[in-house]
């Protein structure tokens, strides 16, 4: 596709449910990043990133309830188990080429609300 | 690791005036500095970037300056318009993995 695509655009879940958020990066982009942004356009907080299928850094994942994968080096899924109210946020995905000094291209994000 | 600080957190200017947002970074190895604009409910979009071998870059009403010695870079918007109202994020990148370290954002309001 022409840009980074994320789905669903909005997700409402009850506390304790599991959710899965999908990111489809720009074709050919080796690097893929997940960020969390507080509702109301707060800071962009790093969660994790991939080079192809390898997860190189997951230091930003807030707890072991958060899990990300990119099994074939393209589409990525961010999974949150046993959701809590504090998980309510916008989850942004971005992709870029591997070489440095290149911009990251963002998707529209998934707005997650936990009731 | 890298630490990026951004100031101010909020900024209000009259239409037609200039706006300046400043960022500092800690790692001298950082070599790429993009700026993103995020309108309410939209994705962050790249508006300008600068690489470490350049001191200044301009694109119409937007300019970015970089001082590698002092480890700071700034976004300058001239002749501001209401549609410039948004949250602006700076970032720094230091390696070929292209991992970004973001500032905390500046909410710019242009008053008509």
* Signed CA dihedral, B96, B99, B103, B107: sign only: positive
Q: Is A71 on the interface with B (CB under 8 A)?
A: no
> Does B66 score more than 80 pLDDT?
yes
**Nearest in space to A45 (alpha carbons), one of A4, A3, A92, A10:** A92
Q: pLDDT tens digits for B10-54? A: 999 999 999 999 999 999 989 999 999 999 999 999 999 999 888
Tell me which residues of chain B, numbers 15 to 44, contact chain A at a CB-CB cutoff of 8 Å: 31-32, 34, 36, 38, 40, 42-44
> Does B86 score more than 90 pLDDT?
yes
Q: Is B95 on the interface with A (CB under 8 A)?
A: yes
Q: Is B1 helix (H, G, I), strand (E, B) or coil?
A: coil
Q: Is B102 on the interface with A (CB under 8 A)?
A: yes
DSSP-derived letter for residue B70 is: T
**Residue B53 confidence (pLDDT):** 81
Q: Is B46 on the interface with A (CB under 8 A)?
A: yes
* Signed CA dihedral, A71, A101, B34, A1: sign only: negative
Q: pLDDT tens digits for A50-105? A: 999 999 999 999 999 999 999 999 999 999 999 999 999 999 999 998 777 789 99
C-alpha distance from A77 to closest chain B C-alpha (Å): 19
User: Is A100's CB within 8 Å of B105's CB?
Assistant: no
User: Which single residue is written with the structure tokens 């909020």?
Assistant: B10
**Nearest in space to B3 (alpha carbons), one of B80, B91, B98, B109:** B91
What's the pLDDT band for A17 if we cut at 50, 70, 90? very high
Integer-rounded Cα Rg, in Å, for chain A is 13
């Amino acid at each position: 596709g022409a840009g980074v695509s994320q789905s669903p655009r909005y997700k409402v879940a009850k506390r304790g449910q599991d959710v899965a958020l999908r990111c489809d990066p720009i074709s050919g982009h080796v690097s893929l990043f997940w960020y969390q942004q507080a509702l109301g356009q707060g800071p962009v907080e790093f969660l994790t990133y991939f080079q192809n299928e390898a997860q190189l850094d997951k230091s930003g994942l807030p707890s072991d309830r958060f899990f990300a994968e990119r099994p074939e080096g393209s589409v990525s899924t961010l999974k949150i188990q046993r959701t809590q109210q504090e998980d309510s946020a916008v989850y942004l995905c971005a992709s870029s080429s591997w070489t440095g000094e290149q911009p990251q291209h963002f998707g529209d994000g998934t707005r997650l609300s936990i009731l | 690791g890298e630490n990026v600080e951004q100031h101010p957190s909020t900024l209000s200017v009259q239409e037609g005036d200039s706006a300046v947002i400043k960022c500092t970074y800690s790692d001298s190895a950082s070599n790429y500095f993009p700026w993103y604009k995020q309108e309410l409910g939209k994705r962050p979009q790249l508006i300008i970037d600068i690489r470490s071998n350049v001191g200044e870059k301009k694109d119409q009403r937007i300019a970015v300056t970089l001082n590698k010695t002092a480890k700071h870079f700034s976004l300058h918007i001239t002749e501001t318009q209401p549609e410039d109202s948004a949250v602006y994020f700076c970032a720094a990148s230091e390696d070929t993995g292209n991992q970004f370290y973001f500032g905390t954002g500046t909410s710019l309001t242009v008053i008509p």
